[in-house]
Protein backbone atom coordinates (compact mmCIF):
# COMPACT_ATOMS: atom_id res chain seq x y z
CA UNK A 1 0.00 0.00 0.00
CA UNK A 2 1.32 3.47 -0.93
CA UNK A 3 0.16 6.58 0.92
CA UNK A 4 -0.56 9.41 -1.53
CA UNK A 5 -1.25 13.00 -0.43
CA UNK A 6 -3.08 14.38 -3.47
CA UNK A 7 -2.61 17.98 -2.39
CA UNK A 8 -3.99 21.08 -4.04
CA UNK A 9 -0.52 22.09 -5.33
CA UNK A 10 1.79 19.03 -5.24
CA UNK A 11 1.29 15.25 -5.06
CA UNK A 12 3.42 13.60 -2.35
CA UNK A 13 3.76 9.84 -1.72
CA UNK A 14 5.39 7.34 0.65
CA UNK A 15 5.62 3.56 0.24
CA UNK A 16 7.10 2.68 3.61
CA UNK A 17 10.67 3.14 2.45
CA UNK A 18 10.83 5.58 -0.44
CA UNK A 19 9.08 8.92 -0.90
CA UNK A 20 8.76 11.59 -3.57
CA UNK A 21 6.48 13.88 -5.56
CA UNK A 22 4.33 13.24 -8.64
CA UNK A 23 2.11 10.26 -9.48
CA UNK A 24 3.62 7.05 -8.04
CA UNK A 25 3.64 3.59 -9.60
CA UNK A 26 2.11 0.74 -7.65
CA UNK A 27 -0.68 -1.81 -7.22
CA UNK A 28 -2.75 -0.22 -4.43
CA UNK A 29 -2.98 3.22 -2.84
CA UNK A 30 -4.53 5.10 0.05
CA UNK A 31 -5.17 8.55 -1.45
CA UNK A 32 -5.95 11.61 0.65
CA UNK A 33 -7.50 14.32 -1.53
CA UNK A 34 -7.09 17.98 -0.61
CA UNK A 35 -9.65 19.26 1.90
CA UNK A 36 -9.51 22.78 0.38
CA UNK A 37 -13.11 22.48 -0.89
CA UNK A 38 -14.34 19.98 1.69
CA UNK A 39 -17.44 20.47 3.84
CA UNK A 40 -17.08 18.98 7.34
CA UNK A 41 -20.05 18.57 9.68
CA UNK A 42 -21.01 16.59 12.77
CA UNK A 43 -24.32 14.75 13.05
CA UNK A 44 -26.03 12.24 15.32
CA UNK A 45 -27.80 9.11 14.02
CA UNK A 46 -29.70 6.52 16.03
CA UNK A 47 -27.79 3.74 14.24
CA UNK A 48 -24.03 3.32 14.26
CA UNK A 49 -23.46 0.95 11.33
CA UNK A 50 -25.21 -0.97 8.60
CA UNK A 51 -25.52 -0.90 4.83
CA UNK A 52 -28.27 1.74 4.91
CA UNK A 53 -26.34 4.22 7.06
CA UNK A 54 -24.39 5.72 4.16
CA UNK A 55 -27.56 6.14 2.08
CA UNK A 56 -29.29 7.78 5.06
CA UNK A 57 -26.38 10.21 5.55
CA UNK A 58 -26.20 10.97 1.82
CA UNK A 59 -29.94 11.74 1.67
CA UNK A 60 -29.74 13.96 4.77
CA UNK A 61 -26.74 15.90 3.46
CA UNK A 62 -28.23 16.39 -0.01
CA UNK A 63 -31.46 17.69 1.59
CA UNK A 64 -29.53 20.05 3.87
CA UNK A 65 -27.51 21.44 0.95
CA UNK A 66 -30.40 21.31 -1.56
CA UNK A 67 -28.27 19.43 -4.10
CA UNK A 68 -28.79 16.26 -6.12
CA UNK A 69 -27.29 13.22 -4.31
CA UNK A 70 -25.62 12.31 -7.61
CA UNK A 71 -23.52 15.49 -7.43
CA UNK A 72 -21.87 14.78 -4.08
CA UNK A 73 -20.02 11.99 -2.31
CA UNK A 74 -19.94 11.52 1.45
CA UNK A 75 -17.44 9.83 3.75
CA UNK A 76 -17.91 9.47 7.49
CA UNK A 77 -16.45 8.01 10.64
CA UNK A 78 -17.78 7.41 14.12
CA UNK A 79 -16.63 10.06 16.59
CA UNK A 80 -18.49 8.93 19.71
CA UNK A 81 -20.91 6.20 20.75
CA UNK A 82 -23.83 7.57 22.77
CA UNK A 83 -26.82 6.01 24.52
CA UNK A 84 -29.10 5.52 21.52
CA UNK A 85 -26.77 5.97 18.58
CA UNK A 86 -23.53 7.56 17.46
CA UNK A 87 -22.05 10.95 16.66
CA UNK A 88 -20.31 11.08 13.28
CA UNK A 89 -17.86 13.29 11.44
CA UNK A 90 -19.24 13.66 7.92
CA UNK A 91 -17.16 14.82 4.95
CA UNK A 92 -18.86 16.08 1.79
CA UNK A 93 -17.09 16.45 -1.56
CA UNK A 94 -18.21 17.05 -5.14
CA UNK A 95 -18.08 13.86 -7.19
CA UNK A 96 -16.37 15.71 -10.05
CA UNK A 97 -13.32 16.30 -7.81
CA UNK A 98 -13.01 12.57 -7.19
CA UNK A 99 -13.18 11.98 -10.94
CA UNK A 100 -10.17 14.26 -11.42
CA UNK A 101 -7.89 11.51 -10.12
CA UNK A 102 -6.14 9.67 -13.00
CA UNK A 103 -7.57 6.25 -13.82
CA UNK A 104 -4.32 4.42 -12.97
CA UNK A 105 -4.64 5.74 -9.41
CA UNK A 106 -8.43 5.79 -8.93
CA UNK A 107 -8.97 2.19 -10.05
CA UNK A 108 -6.54 0.87 -7.42
CA UNK A 109 -7.19 3.30 -4.57
CA UNK A 110 -9.17 3.80 -1.43
CA UNK A 111 -9.89 7.54 -1.30
CA UNK A 112 -10.09 9.62 1.88
CA UNK A 113 -9.12 13.14 3.05
CA UNK A 114 -5.58 14.48 3.49
CA UNK A 115 -6.11 15.81 7.04
CA UNK A 116 -7.11 12.31 8.22
CA UNK A 117 -3.69 11.14 7.04
CA UNK A 118 -2.14 13.89 9.14
CA UNK A 119 -4.13 12.76 12.19
CA UNK A 120 -2.98 9.18 11.66
CA UNK A 121 0.65 10.35 11.45
CA UNK A 122 0.39 12.55 14.56
CA UNK A 123 -0.99 9.59 16.54
CA UNK A 124 2.41 7.92 16.18
CA UNK A 125 3.81 10.85 18.22
CA UNK A 126 1.06 11.56 20.79
CA UNK A 127 -2.49 10.57 21.80
CA UNK A 128 -3.65 14.09 22.71
CA UNK A 129 -2.74 16.88 20.33
CA UNK A 130 -3.81 19.71 18.06
CA UNK A 131 -2.78 19.36 14.41
CA UNK A 132 -2.53 22.42 12.14
CA UNK A 133 -2.14 21.40 8.49
CA UNK A 134 -1.25 24.74 6.88
CA UNK A 135 -1.50 24.16 3.13
CA UNK A 136 -1.29 26.51 0.18
CA UNK A 137 -5.10 26.63 -0.32
CA UNK A 138 -6.54 25.64 3.06
CA UNK A 139 -5.67 25.35 6.73
CA UNK A 140 -7.15 22.31 8.49
CA UNK A 141 -7.21 22.02 12.28
CA UNK A 142 -7.84 18.81 14.21
CA UNK A 143 -8.08 18.24 17.96
CA UNK A 144 -7.50 14.66 19.17
CA UNK A 145 -7.92 13.63 22.84
CA UNK A 146 -6.95 10.19 24.07
CA UNK A 147 -6.69 8.91 20.50
CA UNK A 148 -10.20 10.10 19.53
CA UNK A 149 -10.96 12.96 17.14
CA UNK A 150 -12.86 15.63 19.10
CA UNK A 151 -12.96 18.49 16.60
CA UNK A 152 -12.11 19.06 12.96
CA UNK A 153 -12.20 22.41 11.16
CA UNK A 154 -11.26 23.34 7.58
CA UNK A 155 -10.58 27.06 7.15
CA UNK A 156 -10.80 28.43 3.61
CA UNK A 157 -7.66 30.12 2.32
CA UNK A 158 -4.04 28.95 2.59
CA UNK A 159 -1.50 29.93 5.22
CA UNK A 160 -0.49 33.10 3.31
CA UNK A 161 -4.12 34.28 3.44
CA UNK A 162 -4.30 33.69 7.20
CA UNK A 163 -1.16 35.76 7.72
CA UNK A 164 -3.34 38.79 6.90
CA UNK A 165 -6.76 37.71 8.22
CA UNK A 166 -5.69 36.64 11.71
CA UNK A 167 -8.69 34.24 11.93
CA UNK A 168 -6.52 31.17 12.46
CA UNK A 169 -4.35 32.70 15.18
CA UNK A 170 -7.31 33.82 17.31
CA UNK A 171 -8.94 30.38 16.86
CA UNK A 172 -5.77 28.59 18.00
CA UNK A 173 -5.55 30.69 21.12
CA UNK A 174 -9.04 29.49 22.07
CA UNK A 175 -9.17 25.79 21.14
CA UNK A 176 -5.62 24.35 21.05
CA UNK A 177 -5.08 21.37 23.38
CA UNK A 178 -2.13 19.13 24.11
CA UNK A 179 0.94 19.23 21.89
CA UNK A 180 0.41 21.47 18.86
CA UNK A 181 1.89 20.06 15.63
CA UNK A 182 2.37 22.35 12.63
CA UNK A 183 2.66 20.71 9.20
CA UNK A 184 2.21 21.65 5.54
CA UNK A 185 3.88 24.46 3.62
CA UNK A 186 3.20 26.89 6.48
CA UNK A 187 5.66 24.91 8.64
CA UNK A 188 8.44 25.99 6.25
CA UNK A 189 7.45 29.68 6.28
CA UNK A 190 9.35 31.71 8.89
CA UNK A 191 6.82 34.54 8.64
CA UNK A 192 3.86 32.23 9.26
CA UNK A 193 5.59 30.45 12.15
CA UNK A 194 6.49 33.81 13.69
CA UNK A 195 2.85 34.96 13.70
CA UNK A 196 1.53 31.61 14.94
CA UNK A 197 4.03 31.57 17.83
CA UNK A 198 2.38 34.74 19.18
CA UNK A 199 -0.87 32.79 19.66
CA UNK A 200 0.31 29.30 20.67
CA UNK A 201 3.44 27.20 21.26
CA UNK A 202 3.90 24.54 18.59
CA UNK A 203 6.22 21.82 17.31
CA UNK A 204 7.19 21.07 13.71
CA UNK A 205 7.46 17.25 13.63
CA UNK A 206 10.50 15.46 12.24
CA UNK A 207 10.06 11.81 11.26
CA UNK A 208 12.43 9.45 9.46
CA UNK A 209 13.09 9.08 6.58
CA UNK A 210 11.80 12.61 5.73
CA UNK A 211 13.98 14.72 8.02
CA UNK A 212 13.51 18.45 7.43
CA UNK A 213 10.88 17.68 4.75
CA UNK A 214 8.59 15.96 7.27
CA UNK A 215 5.96 18.77 7.22
CA UNK A 216 5.47 18.21 3.46
CA UNK A 217 5.23 14.41 3.67
CA UNK A 218 3.40 14.15 7.01
CA UNK A 219 0.00 13.39 5.45
CA UNK A 220 1.47 10.82 3.03
CA UNK A 221 3.23 9.15 5.98
CA UNK A 222 -0.07 8.95 7.85
CA UNK A 223 -1.94 7.66 4.80
CA UNK A 224 0.61 4.85 4.51
CA UNK A 225 -0.23 3.97 8.15
CA UNK A 226 -3.94 4.67 7.70
CA UNK A 227 -5.01 1.29 9.08
CA UNK A 228 -4.24 2.79 12.54
CA UNK A 229 -6.43 5.85 11.98
CA UNK A 230 -9.29 6.43 14.47
CA UNK A 231 -11.32 7.96 11.63
CA UNK A 232 -11.31 5.70 8.56
CA UNK A 233 -13.60 7.76 6.32
CA UNK A 234 -13.57 6.59 2.70
CA UNK A 235 -15.23 8.18 -0.33
CA UNK A 236 -14.17 5.02 -2.16
CA UNK A 237 -12.86 1.74 -0.76
CA UNK A 238 -10.82 -0.91 -2.50
CA UNK A 239 -12.94 -3.70 -3.89
CA UNK A 240 -12.14 -6.91 -2.00
CA UNK A 241 -12.47 -8.87 -5.23
CA UNK A 242 -10.15 -6.68 -7.34
CA UNK A 243 -7.34 -8.64 -8.97
CA UNK A 244 -4.54 -6.93 -7.04
CA UNK A 245 -6.25 -7.35 -3.69
CA UNK A 246 -6.91 -11.02 -4.42
CA UNK A 247 -3.19 -11.53 -4.93
CA UNK A 248 -2.32 -9.82 -1.66
CA UNK A 249 -5.10 -11.48 0.38
CA UNK A 250 -5.09 -14.99 -1.11
CA UNK A 251 -4.19 -16.48 2.33
CA UNK A 252 -7.55 -15.32 3.62
CA UNK A 253 -9.30 -17.72 1.25
CA UNK A 254 -7.18 -20.64 2.43
CA UNK A 255 -8.20 -20.18 6.07
CA UNK A 256 -11.74 -18.95 5.35
CA UNK A 257 -13.34 -22.41 5.54
CA UNK A 258 -11.80 -23.14 8.94
CA UNK A 259 -13.37 -20.14 10.66
CA UNK A 260 -16.63 -20.01 8.72
CA UNK A 261 -18.75 -21.93 11.23
CA UNK A 262 -17.59 -19.86 14.22
CA UNK A 263 -18.43 -16.68 12.33
CA UNK A 264 -22.00 -17.86 11.86
CA UNK A 265 -22.64 -17.57 15.60
CA UNK A 266 -21.17 -14.06 15.74
CA UNK A 267 -23.13 -12.97 12.67
CA UNK A 268 -26.36 -14.25 14.22
CA UNK A 269 -25.77 -12.24 17.38
CA UNK A 270 -24.96 -9.12 15.40
CA UNK A 271 -28.08 -9.56 13.29
CA UNK A 272 -30.33 -9.74 16.38
CA UNK A 273 -28.67 -6.58 17.71
CA UNK A 274 -29.15 -4.92 14.32
CA UNK A 275 -32.88 -5.70 14.34
CA UNK A 276 -33.20 -4.18 17.81
CA UNK A 277 -31.39 -1.00 16.79
CA UNK A 278 -33.39 -0.83 13.54
CA UNK A 279 -36.66 -1.04 15.51
CA UNK A 280 -35.52 1.78 17.83
CA UNK A 281 -34.51 3.86 14.81
CA UNK A 282 -37.91 3.53 13.13
CA UNK A 283 -39.70 4.40 16.38
CA UNK A 284 -37.54 7.54 16.67
CA UNK A 285 -38.23 8.37 13.03
CA UNK A 286 -42.00 7.99 13.46
CA UNK A 287 -41.95 10.27 16.52
CA UNK A 288 -39.86 12.79 14.59
CA UNK A 289 -42.34 12.81 11.67
CA UNK A 290 -45.23 13.24 14.13
CA UNK A 291 -43.62 16.33 15.69
CA UNK A 292 -42.80 17.77 12.27
CA UNK A 293 -46.41 17.25 11.18
CA UNK A 294 -47.60 19.27 14.19
CA UNK A 295 -45.31 22.16 13.28
CA UNK A 296 -46.18 22.03 9.56
CA UNK A 297 -49.93 21.72 10.15
CA UNK A 298 -50.23 18.75 7.80
CA UNK A 299 -49.23 15.10 7.79
CA UNK A 300 -45.64 14.60 6.60
CA UNK A 301 -44.97 11.17 5.14
CA UNK A 302 -41.75 12.11 3.36
CA UNK A 303 -40.22 15.10 5.20
CA UNK A 304 -37.06 14.96 3.05
CA UNK A 305 -39.26 15.98 0.08
CA UNK A 306 -42.18 17.83 1.67
CA UNK A 307 -40.22 20.19 3.96
CA UNK A 308 -37.98 21.61 1.18
CA UNK A 309 -41.12 22.05 -0.98
CA UNK A 310 -42.92 23.85 1.86
CA UNK A 311 -39.91 26.10 2.49
CA UNK A 312 -39.78 26.88 -1.23
CA UNK A 313 -43.43 27.92 -1.27
CA UNK A 314 -42.83 30.17 1.76
CA UNK A 315 -39.82 31.77 0.05
CA UNK A 316 -41.86 32.40 -3.12
CA UNK A 317 -44.65 33.95 -1.04
CA UNK A 318 -42.15 36.10 0.86
CA UNK A 319 -40.65 37.30 -2.45
CA UNK A 320 -44.11 38.07 -3.84
CA UNK A 321 -45.15 40.02 -0.73
CA UNK A 322 -41.66 41.56 -0.41
CA UNK A 323 -41.66 40.57 3.26
CA UNK A 324 -37.91 40.99 3.50
CA UNK A 325 -38.03 44.54 2.15
CA UNK A 326 -39.22 47.74 3.88
CA UNK A 327 -42.77 48.80 3.00
CA UNK A 328 -43.79 51.88 1.02
CA UNK A 329 -44.92 53.51 4.28
CA UNK A 330 -41.39 53.14 5.67
CA UNK A 331 -39.97 55.33 2.89
CA UNK A 332 -42.82 57.87 3.01
CA UNK A 333 -42.35 58.15 6.77
CA UNK A 334 -38.60 58.49 6.23
CA UNK A 335 -39.12 61.48 3.92
CA UNK A 336 -41.53 63.05 6.41
CA UNK A 337 -39.13 62.51 9.35
CA UNK A 338 -36.25 64.03 7.37
CA UNK A 339 -37.90 67.42 6.85
CA UNK A 340 -36.23 70.22 8.83
CA UNK A 341 -37.17 73.83 9.51
CA UNK A 342 -36.81 75.89 6.35
CA UNK A 343 -37.68 72.99 3.97
CA UNK A 344 -41.06 72.40 2.36
CA UNK A 345 -41.79 69.23 0.33
CA UNK A 346 -44.16 69.87 -2.57
CA UNK A 347 -44.26 66.49 -4.32
CA UNK A 348 -43.05 62.88 -3.94
CA UNK A 349 -43.03 60.57 -6.97
CA UNK A 350 -41.91 56.96 -7.33
CA UNK A 351 -42.67 53.31 -6.46
CA UNK A 352 -40.91 50.41 -4.76
CA UNK A 353 -40.81 48.52 -8.05
CA UNK A 354 -38.98 51.40 -9.77
CA UNK A 355 -36.40 51.39 -6.97
CA UNK A 356 -36.31 55.16 -6.40
CA UNK A 357 -38.30 58.23 -5.37
CA UNK A 358 -38.12 61.83 -6.62
CA UNK A 359 -38.65 64.50 -3.97
CA UNK A 360 -39.45 68.07 -5.09
CA UNK A 361 -39.67 71.11 -2.84
CA UNK A 362 -38.25 74.44 -1.63
CA UNK A 363 -35.62 75.38 0.95
CA UNK A 364 -34.95 78.75 2.62
CA UNK A 365 -31.18 78.31 2.58
CA UNK A 366 -28.38 75.88 1.58
CA UNK A 367 -27.84 74.68 5.18
CA UNK A 368 -31.50 73.62 5.46
CA UNK A 369 -31.29 71.70 2.17
CA UNK A 370 -28.07 69.99 3.29
CA UNK A 371 -29.63 68.95 6.62
CA UNK A 372 -32.65 67.52 4.77
CA UNK A 373 -30.42 65.48 2.42
CA UNK A 374 -28.33 64.19 5.33
CA UNK A 375 -31.49 63.01 7.11
CA UNK A 376 -32.72 61.22 3.96
CA UNK A 377 -29.52 59.21 3.86
CA UNK A 378 -30.62 57.44 7.05
CA UNK A 379 -33.52 55.88 5.14
CA UNK A 380 -32.28 55.47 1.56
CA UNK A 381 -29.35 53.64 0.01
CA UNK A 382 -28.24 56.59 -2.12
CA UNK A 383 -29.45 60.23 -2.14
CA UNK A 384 -28.41 62.82 -4.71
CA UNK A 385 -29.59 66.34 -5.65
CA UNK A 386 -30.73 66.24 -9.27
CA UNK A 387 -31.23 69.99 -9.68
CA UNK A 388 -31.57 73.25 -7.77
CA UNK A 389 -32.95 76.64 -8.78
CA UNK A 390 -32.87 79.96 -6.90
CA UNK A 391 -36.19 81.80 -7.13
CA UNK A 392 -37.02 84.87 -5.07
CA UNK A 393 -34.44 84.06 -2.42
CA UNK A 394 -35.61 80.45 -2.09
CA UNK A 395 -33.99 77.29 -3.48
CA UNK A 396 -36.18 75.00 -5.55
CA UNK A 397 -34.77 71.43 -5.48
CA UNK A 398 -35.28 68.01 -7.01
CA UNK A 399 -33.76 65.05 -5.10
CA UNK A 400 -33.42 61.44 -6.27
CA UNK A 401 -33.49 58.86 -3.43
CA UNK A 402 -32.75 55.20 -4.24
CA UNK A 403 -34.51 52.43 -2.29
CA UNK A 404 -32.28 50.31 -0.02
CA UNK A 405 -30.80 50.09 3.46
CA UNK A 406 -29.65 53.42 4.79
CA UNK A 407 -27.70 54.23 7.95
CA UNK A 408 -30.75 53.91 10.20
CA UNK A 409 -32.85 50.80 10.83
CA UNK A 410 -36.51 51.24 11.68
Q: Write b or e for each residue in 291-305: b if 16 or more Cβ atoms lie within 10 A of its Cβ, otherwise e.
A: eeeeeeeeebeebee
Pairing of strands 356-363, 394-402: antiparallel
- The DSSP secondary-structure symbol of 236 reads B
Residues 6+ apart with CB under 8 A from 112: 30, 31, 32, 33, 75, 223, 226, 232, 233, 234, 235
Q: What is the pLDDT of residue 54?
A: 85
Q: Read off the pTM.
A: 0.58
Poorest-confidence range of 38-42, 215-219, 257-261? 257-261
Instruction: Encode pLDDT of 165-185 as tens digits.
Output: 777 888 888 888 899 999 999
Instruction: Encode pLDDT of 195-249 as tens digits.
Output: 999 989 999 999 999 999 999 999 999 999 998 888 999 998 875 444 444 444 5
Q: What is the pLDDT of residue 240?
A: 47
Say how far apart CA 383 and CA 372 lie, in whole Å.
11
Q: Which has more pLDDT, 274 or 266? A: 274
Domains and CATH numbers, the chain: 2-248 (no CATH), 251-320 (no CATH), 328-402 (3.30.1360.100)
Instruction: Encode pLDDT of 293-318 as tens digits.
Output: 777 777 776 776 677 777 777 777 77
Q: Which has more pLDDT, 81 or 267? A: 81
- The mean predicted confidence, pLDDT, of the chain is 83
What 3-state class would DSSP assign to 44?
A: strand
Poorest-confidence range of 226-235, 273-282, 310-319, 341-350? 273-282
Say how far apart CA 240 and CA 245 lie, in whole Å.
6
Is pLDDT above 80 for 363? yes
CB 399 within 8 A of CB 359: yes
Q: What is the pLDDT of residue 267?
A: 52
- The DSSP secondary-structure symbol of 364 reads S
Is pLDDT above 90 for 122? yes
Measured distance between the N- and C-terminal CA atoms of the chain, rounded to whole angstroms: 64
Instruction: Encode pLDDT of 74-103 as tens digits.
Output: 999 998 888 888 999 999 999 988 888 888
Q: What is the pLDDT of residue 264?
A: 47
Amino acid sequence: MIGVDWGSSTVKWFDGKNFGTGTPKGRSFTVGISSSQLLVKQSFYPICSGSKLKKLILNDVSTDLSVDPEEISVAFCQAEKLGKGCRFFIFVEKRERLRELPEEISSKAQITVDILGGISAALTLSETFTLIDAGSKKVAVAIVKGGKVERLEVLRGGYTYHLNSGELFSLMGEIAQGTVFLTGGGALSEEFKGELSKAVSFTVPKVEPFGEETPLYFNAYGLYNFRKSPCKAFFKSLSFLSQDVLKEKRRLFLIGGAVGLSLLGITGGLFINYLSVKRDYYLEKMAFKKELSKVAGEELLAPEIQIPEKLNSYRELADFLKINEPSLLYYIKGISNSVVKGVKVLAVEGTLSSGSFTVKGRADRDSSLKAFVDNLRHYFKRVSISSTKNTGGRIGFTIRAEVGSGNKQS
